[in-house]
């Protein structure tokens, strides 16, 4: 059978202010009819550029060379109008962000019907009827209602289902998915993946699946292509690439994923050191050599091409394929860290409840017409973001707080730090009720309790140099005078493993991982005893994520810090936490030692969360959602 | 382990070419600046030099009358001709630049001095303060500015500083609104939350965390305000409510030249050209600044 899609020497260049940058270099791969191919890599590896080149959505300042053979014709050689016709009709696409991909002014049904009317010349009534049928196929219960709904009435998962329906409307043989589940919660992600696997079997469509998440790729794809620094570094059947990778980068990526099990104190994740080169020069040397623990002299002087493995159908761009050992682990730190001693609580939260107004200001004024004269009423809607939450954290203890977006976990963290007013209940720190603290006591609490944020883009002031950002808490809390400040800033940088020269840099000159290191150093500058880590690794790539988790573990052991570690990712939480608390809709539904919660979850929601996080589920539709889960999945449908 | 050391050695190798290409990179960056910025900056620079050295450059004192040379057309002796008293128009235009700039800059300084703190505080504090400030500004904007100025200047004796203060106050609402909207945007940044978590004082957050980030946008807005003040000042002088004779003011000169516009058009045209060049120069500078500083426009170049 001829391949459905074949890329031959595809090269994508972006013309920029300072010369061209090559996003994808000489990419060749083949997608057979009915096959699902995962294209994997970190952000900046060029994977989305490859998908974008096929979908012709990279904009005018790009140069695309090579051939994109689809159903026997080269898409790049086609004139624009004919290429457009192929795109909507023969190739469907779903992108990362379901929240912005739908037109907010049009009903869902109309948006699914549109491509059928346009490409298949269907009559509007027929197209709308088929749109509803498609929604049913997507596993949407009240399809007729949903078709009439507007995008803002649907949850993220529902929107993504609608977008998949729109992509499949013209029954294309190829579906291109660019990170379709990245913006969704784990439980919803699991459902969408199950749906995609099902659709693949039923309709025998081919899928090009772009993702940074190896677990997700494993669940859906037959074969996997790994990209690094604009090059294809490994390609082969999924079970070979993911279980016996031939390229050190694939090996490192797999090794640095946190396993879903409690990690003892003193253990560290294997991590890929360094970072991806911004302007790789693969003609000179292996692009991965600077980060590769298996690197030999020839790797730094001679470039290599894809080497076919003896097993066939599996190739990697490495001189040493087949001779790699396991990825080296960072040596376990000598002082495994004092295990915390449960005793007097450092943080003690009791019966906390915090409501937010859902309707306030002008919109809270409503005219009521019931009985007699119309009356103006001030009616404020309220929702409890945090509800009867009690927890304790001992000195030196790490409490993991897991839950999906909107469950109130970030609000809870901010209330403990008194960044949000606390409502009813009490928060005690070191035996003092925080609501009563004033003046110098409050100042001292600020020094002892600090926070690290998720968003590496906005956690540092863009106009402050790293040195100034780190120096400020030192000055504020009187920990350094003019003369010792520079030396202490250097010490802080060293603590988060950054060179002292970074003192002079500004945030835009740093990578995401480096910014997060600076943010951690800033939080630690005041020598706190307690740190709230609010999704500190969620915005980072897998390999960077591992290094930051290791850093947080090192700091925990070195300084005996207590963390409230907030994350949606159970595996990440398990790496650092002594105990885990699971939060669902404002309440803590389960807490216990990490190993116990993972091994024997009691609450049905915890079970759902665990089931969604396990990544080597058999592919299509074999493993069903645990029965208790349906109750929680109903959250998906909001409003109409 | 041996390999981290090698990794740093490779990192050093990677940075080497970057150091070598630095000068060319600087030149390229200079070349990449929008032409509007370069032209505008050059024009404003010339304007500033002229205004600073007007007394030295001007061939005659601005109020010296050459009775025998009344209404001379432009010549080598009188570059832009003379007016009805035989005063050299060119010299008067040069001196007039001082008044225009003085008015434009002082009005803008006044409006920034009031508007920036108001906008910062309103965006930072939100709540009642925000409501009061913003509704007050809305009220101010509801009056047509020219009416307000005319009213005040018609019932009290005019002076250039008074004109500057009134125009400055009139420019407070746009400055405050721009400042507030940028501040609101910054408030959602996590670096602001980090500052709260350190228990920073209000003034530190306003001056060190917020203001430096608002500054680029304010520079653009300020250039627009200078243009507005120069034009409004000229309009007032033209109507006789601004600078009083015999001062050399552009608006006043245009107004005085009206009577003779058929026979001696240069009396009005010369200050008109000067004013046009000033406004174009400052506007170009502002546009250019916006192109460089506004991240939303950065990709389009």
H or E stretch at A258 = none
Does B212 sit within 8 Å of A463, measured CB to CB? yes
B273: Cβ–Cβ under 8 A, 6 or more apart, which residues? none
| Residue range of the domain that includes B47 | 35-298
Q: Which of A293, A161, A277 is nearest to A285 (CA)?
A: A277
- Chain A nearest CA to B219, separation (Å): 16
Q: With helix as H, strand as E and coil as C, how does A459-478 read?
A: CCCCCCCHHHHHHHHHHHCC
Alpha-carbon distance of A250 to A321, in angstroms, equals: 12
Residue with tokens 């159970």: A570
From residue A142, alpha-carbon distances to A3, A35, A131, A636 in Å are 38, 31, 13, 12
Query: Which chain A residues touch B14 with a CB distance below 8 Å?
Result: 277, 290
Same domain, B44 and B2: no
Same domain, B25 and B45: no
Query: Which chain A residues touch B292 with a CB distance below 8 Å?
Result: none
Query: Residue A12: which pLDDT band, with cuts at 50, 70 and 90?
Result: very high
At residue A336, does pLDDT exceed 90? Answer: no
Same domain, B135 and B74: yes
Question: B183, B190, B204: best mutation site toward chain A, by most A Cβ within 10 Å?
Answer: B190
Instruction: Give mean pLDDT, residues A465-492.
Output: 91
Query: Residue B160: which pLDDT band, with cuts at 50, 70 and 90?
Result: confident
Query: Residue B67: which pLDDT band, with cuts at 50, 70 and 90?
Result: confident
Phi/psi for A592 (5° steps) reads 175, 175
Instruction: Output the DSSP codes for A322-364.
Output: T---PPPPPPPPSS--PPP---S-SEEEEEEEEEEESS-GGGG
Q: What is the crossing angle of helices A542-559 and A248-255, to 10°?
A: 50
pLDDT tens by residue, A520-560 = 999 999 999 999 999 998 888 888 888 899 999 989 988 88
Does B28 sit within 8 Å of A295, measured CB to CB? no
Query: Which chain B residues touch A442 with a CB distance below 8 Å?
Result: 199
CATH (domain of B69):
1.10.3720.10
pLDDT at A620: 33
Does B11 sit within 8 Å of A274, measured CB to CB? yes
Indicate the SS3 state at residue A67.
strand
B4, B14, B191: residue with CB nearest A277: B14
The answer to whether domain A1-104+168-243+605-640 and domain A347-358+377-600 are alike in fold is yes
CATH number for the domain formed by residue range(s) A1-104+168-243+605-640: 3.40.50.300
pLDDT tens by residue, B238-290 = 888 877 777 788 888 888 888 888 888 888 899 999 999 999 999 999 888 87
**Residue % of chain A over a pLDDT of 70:** 91
Q: Is A34 on the interface with B (CB under 8 A)?
A: no
Give the count of domains, chain B: 2
Query: Which chain B residues touch A460 with a CB distance below 8 Å?
Result: 191
Does B3 sit within 8 Å of A459, measured CB to CB? no
Does residue A256 contact residue A249 with C-beta atoms inside 8 Å?
A: no
Q: Is B16 on the interface with A (CB under 8 A)?
A: no
Fold of A347-358+377-600: Rossmann fold (3.40.50)
pLDDT tens by residue, A285-334 = 888 888 888 888 888 887 778 888 887 788 888 888 777 778 887 666 55
- Chain A nearest CA to B118, separation (Å): 22
- Chain A nearest CA to B269, separation (Å): 43
A484: Cβ–Cβ under 8 A, 6 or more apart, which residues? none
Alpha-carbon distance of A125 to A122, in angstroms, equals: 8
At residue A393, does pLDDT exceed 90? Answer: yes
From residue A446, alpha-carbon distances to A28, A244, A431, A561 in Å are 55, 49, 15, 15
A331, A451, A464: residue with CB nearest B197: A451
Q: Is A455 on the interface with B (CB under 8 A)?
A: yes
The sheet with strand A530-534 has its strands ordered as A449-452, A530-534, A562-567, A398-402, A579-584, A587-593
Does A419 sit within 8 Å of B193, measured CB to CB? yes
Q: Is B298 on the interface with A (CB under 8 A)?
A: no
Indicate the SS3 state at residue A565.
strand
**Antiparallel, parallel or unpaired: β A73-74 and A91-94:** unpaired
Same domain, B16 and B39: no
Q: Which of B292, B249, B232, B288 is nearest to B42 (CA)?
A: B288
Same domain, B27 and B150: no
pLDDT at A525: 93
Does A18 sit within 8 Å of B25, measured CB to CB? yes
Same domain, B203 and B236: yes
Same domain, B4 and B86: no
pLDDT at B72: 82
pLDDT tens by residue, B90-141 = 989 998 899 889 999 999 999 999 999 999 999 999 889 999 999 999 998 8
Same domain, B192 and B254: yes
Residue with tokens 């915890």: A606
Does B194 sit within 8 Å of A522, measured CB to CB? yes
Query: Residue A188: which pLDDT band, with cuts at 50, 70 and 90?
Result: confident
Query: Which chain A residues touch B193 with a CB distance below 8 Å?
Result: 414, 419, 451, 453
Alpha-carbon distance of A73 to A9, in angstroms, equals: 15
Q: Is A328 on the interface with B (CB under 8 A)?
A: yes
Domain boundaries, chain A: 1-104+168-243+605-640, 281-323, 347-358+377-600
Does residue A149 contact residue A179 with C-beta atoms inside 8 Å?
A: no
Does residue A289 contact residue A300 with C-beta atoms inside 8 Å?
A: yes
Alpha-carbon distance of B171 to B158, in angstroms, equals: 19
pLDDT at A637: 36
Does B7 sit within 8 Å of A290, measured CB to CB? yes
A293, A458, A461: residue with CB nearest B3: A293
Does A476 sit within 8 Å of B198, measured CB to CB? yes
- Chain B nearest CA to A81, separation (Å): 25
Question: A252, A461, A510: best mutation site toward chain B, by most B Cβ within 10 Å?
Answer: A461
How many CB pairs (< 8 A) connect A and B?
77
Query: Which chain A residues touch B196 with a CB distance below 8 Å?
Result: 419
Residue in A with minimal Cα distance to B25: A18
Looking at per-residue confidence, does A419 or A337 come out higher?
A: A419
Same domain, B279 and B143: yes
pLDDT at B58: 84
pLDDT at B196: 92
Does residue A13 contact residue A31 with C-beta atoms inside 8 Å?
A: no
Count CB atoms within 10 A of the CB of residue B112: 21
From residue B69, alpha-carbon distances to B66, B88, B89, B257, B262 in Å are 5, 9, 12, 16, 18
Q: With helix as H, strand as E and coil as C, how does B242-286 read?
A: CCCCCCCCHHHHHHHHHHHCCCCCHHHHHHHHHHHHHHHHHHHHH
Same domain, B196 and B244: yes
Q: Which of A347, A455, A335, A362 is nearest to A395 (CA)?
A: A347
Q: Which of A141, A140, A132, A139 is nearest to A107 (CA)?
A: A132
From residue A250, alpha-carbon distances to A39, A226, A254, A287, B256 in Å are 12, 7, 6, 13, 82
User: pLDDT averaged over chain A?
Assistant: 85
Alpha-carbon distance of A422 to A414, in angstroms, equals: 9
Report the Cα A19 to chain-centroid distance in Å.
31
pLDDT at B24: 61
A221: Cβ–Cβ under 8 A, 6 or more apart, which residues? A36, A37, A38, A207, A209, A238
Instruction: Give mean pLDDT, residues A93-110.
Output: 88
At residue A65, does pLDDT exceed 90? Answer: yes
Q: How far apart are the first and last CA of chain A?
A: 46
Q: Which ipTM did the prediction report?
A: 0.78
Query: Which chain A residues touch B194 with a CB distance below 8 Å?
Result: 451, 453, 459, 519, 522-523
pLDDT at A528: 94
A273, A461, A522: residue with CB nearest B209: A461
Does residue A98 contact residue A163 with C-beta atoms inside 8 Å?
A: yes
């Amino acid at each position: 059978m001829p391949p459905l899609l074949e890329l031959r020497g595809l090269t994508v260049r972006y013309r920029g202010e300072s010369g061209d940058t090559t996003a994808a270099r000489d990419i060749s791969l083949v997608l057979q009819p009915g096959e699902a191919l995962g294209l994997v890599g970190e952000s900046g590896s060029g994977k989305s550029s490859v998908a974008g080149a096929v979908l012709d959505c990279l904009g005018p300042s790009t140069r695309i060379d090579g051939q994109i053979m689809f159903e026997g014709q080269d898409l790049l050689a086609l004139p624009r109008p004919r290429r457009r016709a192929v795109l909507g009709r023969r190739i469907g696409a779903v992108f990362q962000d379901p929240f912005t991909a739908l037109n907010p002014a049009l009903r869902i049904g109309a948006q699914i019907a549109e491509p059928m009317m346009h490409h298949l010349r269907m009559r509007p009534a027929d197209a709308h009827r088929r749109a509803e049928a498609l929604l049913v196929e997507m596993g949407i219960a009240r399809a007729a209602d949903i078709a009439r709904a507007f995008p803002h009435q649907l949850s993220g998962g529902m929107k993504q289902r609608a977008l998949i329906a729109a992509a499949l409307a013209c029954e294309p043989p190829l579906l291109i998915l660019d990170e379709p589940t990245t913006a969704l919660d784990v439980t919803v992600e699991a459902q969408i993946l199950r749906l995609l696997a099902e659709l693949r079997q039923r309709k025998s469509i081919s899928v090009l699946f772009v993702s940074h998440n190896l677990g997700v790729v494993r669940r859906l794809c037959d074969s996997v292509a790994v990209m690094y620094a604009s090059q294809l570094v490994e390609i082969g059947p999924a079970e070979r690439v993911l279980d016996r990778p031939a390229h050190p980068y694939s090996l490192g990526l797999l090794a640095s994923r946190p396993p879903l099990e409690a990690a003892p104190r003193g253990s560290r994740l294997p991590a890929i050191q360094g970072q991806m080169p911004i302007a790789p020069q693969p003609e000179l040397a292996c692009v991965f050599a600077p980060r590769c623990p298996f690197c030999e002299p020839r790797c730094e002087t001679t470039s290599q091409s894809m080497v076919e493995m003896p097993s066939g159908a599996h190739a990697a761009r490495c001189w040493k394929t087949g001779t790699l050992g396991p990825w080296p682990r960072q040596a376990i730190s000598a002082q495994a860290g004092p295990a915390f001693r449960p005793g007097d609580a450092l943080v003690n939260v009791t019966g906390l409840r915090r409501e937010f107004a859902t309707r306030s200001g002008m919109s809270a004024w409503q005219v009521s017409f019931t009985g007699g004269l119309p009356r103006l009423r001030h009616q404020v809607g309220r929702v409890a973001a945090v509800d009867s939450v009690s927890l304790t954290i001992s000195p030196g203890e790490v409490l993991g707080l897991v839950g999906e977006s909107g469950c109130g976990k970030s609000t809870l963290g901010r209330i403990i730090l008194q960044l949000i007013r606390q409502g009813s209940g009490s928060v005690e720190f070191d035996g003092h009720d925080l609501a009563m603290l004033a003046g110098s006591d409050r100042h001292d609490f600020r020094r002892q309790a600090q926070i690290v944020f998720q968003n590496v883009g906005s956690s540092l002031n863009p106009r402050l140099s790293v040195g100034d950002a780190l120096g400020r808490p030192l000055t504020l809390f009187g920990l350094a005078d003019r003369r010792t400040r520079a030396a202490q800033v250097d010490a802080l940088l060293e603590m988060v493993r950054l060179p002292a020269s970074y003192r002079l840099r500004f945030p835009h000159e740093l990578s995401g991982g480096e910014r997060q290191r600076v943010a951690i150093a800033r939080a630690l500058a005041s020598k706190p005893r307690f740190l709230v880590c609010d999704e500190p690794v969620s915005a980072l790539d897998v390999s960077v994520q591992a290094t930051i988790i290791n850093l947080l573990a090192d700091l925990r052991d070195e300084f005996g810090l207590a963390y409230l570690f907030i994350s949606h990712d159970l595996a990440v939480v398990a790496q650092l936490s002594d105990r885990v608390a699971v939060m669902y809709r404002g309440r803590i539904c389960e807490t216990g030692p990490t190993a116990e919660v993972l091994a024997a979850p009691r609450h049905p929601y915890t079970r759902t969360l665990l089931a969604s996080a396990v990544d080597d589920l058999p592919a299509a539709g074999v493993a069903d959602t645990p029965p208790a889960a349906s109750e929680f999945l109903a959250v998906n449908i909001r409003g109409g | 382990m041996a390999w981290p050391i090698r990794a740093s050695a490779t990192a050093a190798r990677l940075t080497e070419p970057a150091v070598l290409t630095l000068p060319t990179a600087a030149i390229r960056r200079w070349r990449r600046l929008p032409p509007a910025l370069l032209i505008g900056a050059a024009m404003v620079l010339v304007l500033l030099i002229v205004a600073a050295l007007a007394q030295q450059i001007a061939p005659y004192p601005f109020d010296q009358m050459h009775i025998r040379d009344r209404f001379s057309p432009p010549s080598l002796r009188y570059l832009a001709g003379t007016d009805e008293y035989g005063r050299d128009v060119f010299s008067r235009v040069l001196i007039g630049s001082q008044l225009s700039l003085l008015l434009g800059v002082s009005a803008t300084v006044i409006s920034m001095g009031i508007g920036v703190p108001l906008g910062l505080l309103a965006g930072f504090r939100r709540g009642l303060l925000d409501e009061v400030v913003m509704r007050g500004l809305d009220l101010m904007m509801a009056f047509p500015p020219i009416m307000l100025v005319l009213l005040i200047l018609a019932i009290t004796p005019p002076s250039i500083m008074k004109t500057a203060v009134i125009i400055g106050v009139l420019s407070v609402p746009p400055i405050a609104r721009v400042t507030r909207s940028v501040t609101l945007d910054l408030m959602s940044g996590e670096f602001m939350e980090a500052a709260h978590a350190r228990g920073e004082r209000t003034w530190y957050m306003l001056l060190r965390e917020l203001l430096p980030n608002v500054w680029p946008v304010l520079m653009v807005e300020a250039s627009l305000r200078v243009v507005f003040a120069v034009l409004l000042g000229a309009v007032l002088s033209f109507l006789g409510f601004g600078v009083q004779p015999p001062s050399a003011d552009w608006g006043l000169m245009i107004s005085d030249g009206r009577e003779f516009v058929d026979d001696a058009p240069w009396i009005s045209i010369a200050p008109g050209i000067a004013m046009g060049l000033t406004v174009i120069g400052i506007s170009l500078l502002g546009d250019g600044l916006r192109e460089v500083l506004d991240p939303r426009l950065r990709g389009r170049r």
